[in-house]
């Protein structure tokens, strides 16, 4: 029999109170951990996802929107750019490379389709210093070939050689009437990518002419039906339609939505300083005066986004601290309430020879134990919660989050909880210390 | 004032010596002044101190145990002045040399019979390695066989035995028994006193039993009235007259 026996007996004797108090501490710790983990993991995911792009050109309403649409597939970009505009920009600017990209189509309304050229997989890296890698097959070489991102492949079950149709528009795009499946054009899966741990993993990739042909088909159809009342296409009409080829494309068909750009830099040169110069040059270009371009520096936009989000998570962090403190008050109340019933036990221990500091220590240990169990429960719950939150973010936002907390952080949270629990135990421990033996041993009548 | 060295404590001739004790109590329910001019218990001696209920008996025992402070006078247990010791030192001394038995037993609820005895040894000078065997042997000798039973599951008679075992576990110099039979019928009261006396004798402990139960007086060789030692008086005219 040791002091330890007395502490554990006491905790077990008030099992309900102990469990609920431990649970409340656990919830507070878990909340705190999830917030800390998601904060750093979210920032990393955003910073990682923009890869080695310096500048993102589009006609979206704002730079931030263009980054969210163009690199994180939040929605279809609003207005297109002409391929000719891309070609002239590429010529006039000091770019290392510039990759044309068209977004707006999808597979099964859920998985974004990105049409581009071979520079996309040779020059653009989804995460810096992490080039694309094929798990199976090859990149697209001909029209109507498609390469599937790792997460999309897992989610759709697509395999090499599968024939698929794409949808014009995505589930979330404006004008539901414009969403339709292009049954005329069958794509073949020629490659499956290895995971990159970025938002690009849920995307299907194809070449630009394929995307242009589908849209040209729509244009030609509209022109043929001009003046006629709108009607559902019959099977016969459908069969008679001539398939559009690359030869039928007119310049207006050659649309893109974004340009991924990397400016020329010498090794060690300050890229950050060069970007605004290029942006300014592009803005001043008279060719774009009528319909201005939106030029975004992804890392800068993400930093701005994080500033906004940062304020919110400071509030959340403050709330977590409040929950933490209130769970500390919970420990104090649980022990305080138990003191009334325990006066006699404390008095008996004193009679048997326990000193006041030892009694103080017993109560403080009890409080600390609640803190330790709470911290353990909270760390378990927090790690689990972060995994769930990460899965939701991956599913809903396509953000790849790896919620890990360095061991030092875990130790800090555990020690913090322990300190809080000890602090909460001080008042009950002082009560126990000052328990009057003479008064507490009066016979119960 | 005697303040013997610890080593000298065990050579003292008396187990307990109270001299010129004065303690004034004032509470919501009135007050009294307790006086004990001289009370000495030799080692192993057993004594019944009879007093009317509410006559300051419990107070005297708590003063001896060092749980309350006297206004004046000395209380020596094994030759050491209990009240000359402070804080933890006094608690340690109590744990090592004084055993207490209460009318309501005051066992630790939620703990087993064995643990209740072990709890007394925790604060004693007995080496920890001997605790378990010693407690078990003591319980067995007192007729408790199920050591792992929670005390609240034991009968009143068995609880009494656990309380006795706990009081003598550390081989104290003196056992203080406060109305140990008040909640028992005469027959069981006799049995209980017999147990306490037997246990004290075996451990070599002196026994100071306070009670207002005349039925047990016959069991003690030495019986004194608290009033004869000085006694408790209500403050007021008498106090002023002296």
Q: Considering only CA atoms, give the Rg of chain B.
A: 18
- Split at pLDDT 50, 70, 90, the class of B5 is very low
Give me the mean pLDDT over the B94-102 stretch. 94
Which of A274, A296, A318 is the endpoint of a domain?
A: A296
Instruction: Output the pLDDT for position A271.
Output: 65
Q: What is the pLDDT of residue B7?
A: 44
A207 and A60, same structural domain? yes
**HEC readout, A343-360:** HHHHHHHHHHCCCHHHHH
Strand pairing category for A167-168 and A258-263: unpaired
* Residue A13's pLDDT band (cuts 50, 70, 90): confident
Sorting pLDDT into bands at 50, 70 and 90, what band is B8? very low
pLDDT (tens digit per residue) in A282-307: 777 777 777 788 888 888 888 888 88
Between A404 and B151, the more confident residue is: B151
Q: Which of A296, A318, A340 is the last residue of a domain?
A: A296
Query: What are A201-212's pLDDT values in tens digits?
Result: 889 999 999 999
H helices within chain B, ranges in order? Answer: 6-9, 57-64, 87-97, 113-122, 128-141, 156-168, 186-203, 226-229, 237-241
- Domain for residue A374, yes or no? yes
Residue B235: is its pLDDT beyond 90?
Answer: no
**Percent of chain A beyond pLDDT 70?**
90
All residues at 6 or more sequence positions from B54 whose CB lies less than 8 Å from its CB, including other chains: none
Question: By the 8 A CB rule, do B98 and B77 touch?
Answer: yes
Q: Do B95 and A9 touch (CB under 8 A)?
A: no
Assess whether A71 and A173 both reside in one domain.
Answer: yes
Same domain, A68 and A192: yes
- The mean pLDDT of A31-41, rounded to a whole number, is 81
Query: Residue B4 has what pLDDT?
Result: 42
Domain count, chain A: 2
Yes or no, beta carbons of A9 and B111 under 8 Å apart: yes
Q: Two tokens at A146? A: 């498609």
Please choose, from the candidates B160, B165, B167, the residue with its C-alpha nearest in 3D space to the C-alpha of residue B103.
Answer: B160
The pLDDT value recorded for residue B64 is: 95
∠ Cα A317 A319 A321 (to 5°): 70
pLDDT at residue A347, as a whole number: 93
Q: Read off the pLDDT of each residue in A101-124 and give the average, rounded to a whole number.
A: 91
Of B100, B111, B118, the CB nearest to A351: B100
Q: What is the pLDDT of residues A219-275, one digit of tens each?
A: 887 787 766 655 555 555 555 566 788 888 888 889 999 999 988 877 666 666 767
Alpha-carbon gap, residue A17 to A334, rounded angstroms: 7
Whether residue A247 is found in the same domain as residue A361: no
- Tell me what pLDDT residue A272 has: 67
Closest C-alpha among B139, B138, B208 to residue B173: B208
Q: Which tokens belong to B147?
A: 């050591």
Asked whether residue A311 falls in the same domain as residue A399, the answer is yes
Q: Which of A70 and B232 is assigned the larger pLDDT? A: A70
**B121-170 residue pLDDT tens:** 999 989 999 999 999 999 999 999 999 999 999 998 899 999 999 999 99
Domain boundary among the residues A296, A322, A337 is at: A296
pLDDT of residue B237: 40
**Residue A167 pLDDT more than 90?**
no
pLDDT of residue A170: 57
pLDDT for the residue B232: 74
Asked if A98 and A26 sit in the same domain, the reply is no
Highest mean pLDDT among A43-57, A170-184, A359-373: A359-373
Q: Calculate what percentage of chain A has a pLDDT beyond 90.
A: 38
Both A209 and A241 in one domain: the answer is: yes
Per residue in B178-232, pLDDT (tens digit) is 989 887 888 888 889 999 999 999 999 999 999 888 888 889 989 998 888 887 7
Q: What pLDDT was estimated at residue A293? A: 84
Evaluate whether residue A9 is within a structural domain.
yes
**Same structural domain, A33 and A122:** no
A390 min Cα distance to partner chain B (Å): 46
- Give me the pLDDT at residue A240, please: 58
Q: What letter would DSSP give residue B112?
A: B
pLDDT at A395 over 80: no
Q: Name the residue in chain A with its Cα closest to that of B27.
A: A439
Q: What residues of chain A lie within 8 A of the CB of B171, using their CB? A: none
Q: Which of A217-231, A378-392, B163-177 has the highest mean pLDDT?
A: B163-177
Predicted local confidence at residue B11, as pLDDT: 56
pLDDT over 80 (residue B233):
no
The answer to whether residue A330 is domain-embedded is yes
Which residues does chain B have within 8 Å of residue A18's beta carbon, measured at their own beta carbons? Answer: none
* Residue B67 to residue A357, Cβ atoms within 8 A: no
Distance, in angstroms, between A444 CA and closest chain B CA?
Answer: 7
Say if the Cβ atoms of A443 and B108 lie within 8 Å: no
The DSSP bridge pattern shows strands A187-193 and A145-148 to be parallel
Residue B98 — φ and ψ, nearest 5°? -125, 130
Please check the confidence at residue A100 and state whether its pLDDT lies above 80. Answer: yes
Domain of A71, in residue numbers: 54-296
Structure tokens at A142: 């001909």
In this predicted structure, the answer to whether residue A56 has a pLDDT above a threshold of 80 is: yes
> What are the structure tokens assigned to A252, written together?
């207006």
Residue B240 has pLDDT above 50, yes or no: no
Higher pLDDT, A110 or A25: A25
Q: How confident is the model at residue A445 (pLDDT cuts 50, 70, 90)?
A: very low
Q: What are φ and ψ of residue A326, in 5° steps?
A: -70, -30
Which pLDDT belongs to residue B28? 67
| Contacts B88 to A, Cβ<8 Å | 355-358
Mean pLDDT of chain A: 85
Q: What is the pLDDT of residues B61-87, one digit of tens each?
A: 999 999 999 999 999 999 999 999 988
Alpha carbon separation from A296 to A68, A147, A281 (Å, rounded): 11, 27, 13
Same domain, yes or no, for A290 and A149?
Answer: yes
Res. A174: pLDDT tops 50 = no
Q: Distance from B174 to chain A by nearest Cα, in Å?
A: 13
CA–CA separation, A170 vs A182, rounded Å?
13
Nearest residue in chain A measured CA to CA from B97: A353
Q: Phi first, then psi: what are they for A159, rounded to 5°?
A: -125, 165
Q: Report chain A residues touching chain B, CB-CB < 8 A.
A: 1-3, 5-6, 9-10, 12-13, 344-345, 347-358, 437-438, 441-444
Give yes or no: residues A187 and A315 share one domain: no
pLDDT of A83 reads 92
pLDDT confidence of residue A329: 94
Of A344, A355, A437, the CB nearest to B88: A355
Task: Say which residues have a Cβ less than 8 Å from residue A220's Cβ, sequence separation at least 6.
Answer: A244, A248
**DSSP label at residue B179:** S
pLDDT of residue A396: 67
Radius of gyration, CA atoms only, chain A: 32
Question: What pLDDT score does B238 carry?
Answer: 40
Do residue B91 and residue A347 have CB atoms under 8 angstroms apart?
Answer: no
* Cβ-count burial A408-422 (b if 16+ within 10 Å, e if not): eebeebbebbbebbb
How far away is chain B from the Cα of A373, in angstroms, using its nearest Cα? 22
pLDDT value at position A175? 44
* A130 band by pLDDT with thresholds 50, 70 and 90: confident
When pLDDT is averaged across residues A407-416 and rounded to a whole number, the result is 87
The reported pLDDT for the residue numbered A231 is: 56
**Structure confidence at residue B32 (pLDDT):** 82
| Domains, chain B, ordered by start | 45-66+95-229 (3.40.50.300)
Kindly state whether residues A40 and A64 are assigned to the same domain.
Answer: no
Q: Identify the pLDDT of residue A309.
A: 76
Tokens 């390695």 belong to B129
Q: Is residue A373 part of a domain?
A: yes
Cβ–Cβ below 8 Å for A1 and B131:
yes
| A342 and A387 part of one domain | yes
Label residue A389 by pLDDT band (50, 70, 90): confident
Contact A356 B87 (CB under 8 A): yes
Kindly state whether residue A445 falls inside one of the protein's structural domains.
no
**CA nearest B105 in A: which residue?**
A443
């Amino acid at each position: 029999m040791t002091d330890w026996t007395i502490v554990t007996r006491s905790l077990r004797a008030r099992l309900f109170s102990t469990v609920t108090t431990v649970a409340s501490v656990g919830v507070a710790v878990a909340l705190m951990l999830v917030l800390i983990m998601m904060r750093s993991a979210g920032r990393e995911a955003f910073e990682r996802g923009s890869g080695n792009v310096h500048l993102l050109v589009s006609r979206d309403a704002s730079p931030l929107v263009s980054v969210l649409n163009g690199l994180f597939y939040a929605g279809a970009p609003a207005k297109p750019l002409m391929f000719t505009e891309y070609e002239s920009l590429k010529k006039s600017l000091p770019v290392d490379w510039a990759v044309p990209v068209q977004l707006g189509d999808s597979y099964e309304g859920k998985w974004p389709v990105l049409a581009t050229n071979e520079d996309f997989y040779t020059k653009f890296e989804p995460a810096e210093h992490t080039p694309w890698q094929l798990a199976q097959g090859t990149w697209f070489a001909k029209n109507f070939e498609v390469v599937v991102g790792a997460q999309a492949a897992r989610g759709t079950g697509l395999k090499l050689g599968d024939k698929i149709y794409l949808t014009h528009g995505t589930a979330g795009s404006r004008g539901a009437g414009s969403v339709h499946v292009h049954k005329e054009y069958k794509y073949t899966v020629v490659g499956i990518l290895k995971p990159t741990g970025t938002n690009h993993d849920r995307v299907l990739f194809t070449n630009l002419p394929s995307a242009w042909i589908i849209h040209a088909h729509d244009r030609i159809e509209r022109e043929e039906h001009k003046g006629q009342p709108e009607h559902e296409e019959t099977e016969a009409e459908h069969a008679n339609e001539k398939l559009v080829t690359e030869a039928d494309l007119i310049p207006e068909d050659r649309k893109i939505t974004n340009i991924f750009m990397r400016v020329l830099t010498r090794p060690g040169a300050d890229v950050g300083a060069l970007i605004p110069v290029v942006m300014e040059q592009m803005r001043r270009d008279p060719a774009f005066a009528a319909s201005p371009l939106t030029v975004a520096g992804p890392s800068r936009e993400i930093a701005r986004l994080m500033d906004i989000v940062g304020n919110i998570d400071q509030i959340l962090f403050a709330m977590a601290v409040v929950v933490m403190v209130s769970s500390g008050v919970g420990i104090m109340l649980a022990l305080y309430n138990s003191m009334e019933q325990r006066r006699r036990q404390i008095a008996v221990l004193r009679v048997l020879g326990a000193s006041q500091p030892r009694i103080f220590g017993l109560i403080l240990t009890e409080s600390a134990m609640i803190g330790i169990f709470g911290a353990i429960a909270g760390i378990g719950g927090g790690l689990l919660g972060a995994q769930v939150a990460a899965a939701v973010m991956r599913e809903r936002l396509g953000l790849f989050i790896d919620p890990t907390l360095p061991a030092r952080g875990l130790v800090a949270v555990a020690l913090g909880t322990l300190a809080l629990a000890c602090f909460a135990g001080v008042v009950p421990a002082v009560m126990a210390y000052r328990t009057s033996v003479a008064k507490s041993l009066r016979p119960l009548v | 004032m005697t303040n013997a060295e610890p080593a000298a404590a065990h050579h003292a001739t008396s187990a307990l010596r109270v001299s010129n004790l004065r303690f004034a109590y004032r509470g919501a329910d009135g007050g009294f002044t307790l006086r004990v001019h001289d009370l000495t218990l030799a080692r192993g001696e057993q004594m019944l101190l009879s007093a009317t209920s509410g006559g300051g008996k419990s107070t005297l025992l708590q003063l001896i145990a060092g749980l309350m402070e006297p206004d004046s006078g000395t209380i020596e247990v094994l030759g050491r002045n209990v009240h000359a010791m402070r804080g933890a030192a006094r608690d340690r001394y109590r744990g090592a040399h004084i055993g207490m038995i209460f009318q309501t037993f005051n066992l630790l609820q939620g703990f087993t019979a064995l643990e209740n005895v072990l709890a007394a040894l925790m604060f004693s000078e007995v080496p920890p390695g001997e605790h378990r065997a010693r407690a078990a042997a003591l319980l067995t000798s007192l007729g408790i066989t199920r050591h792992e039973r929670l005390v609240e599951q034991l009968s009143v008679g068995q609880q009494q035995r656990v309380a006795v075992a706990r009081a003598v576990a550390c081989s104290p110099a003196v056992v203080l028994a406060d109305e140990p039979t008040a909640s028992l019928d005469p027959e069981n009261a006799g049995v209980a006193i017999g147990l306490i006396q037997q246990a004290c004798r075996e451990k070599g402990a002196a026994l100071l039993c306070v009670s207002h139960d005349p039925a047990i007086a016959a069991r003690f060789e030495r019986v004194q009235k608290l009033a004869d030692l000085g006694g408790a008086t209500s403050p007021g005219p008498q106090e002023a007259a002296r």
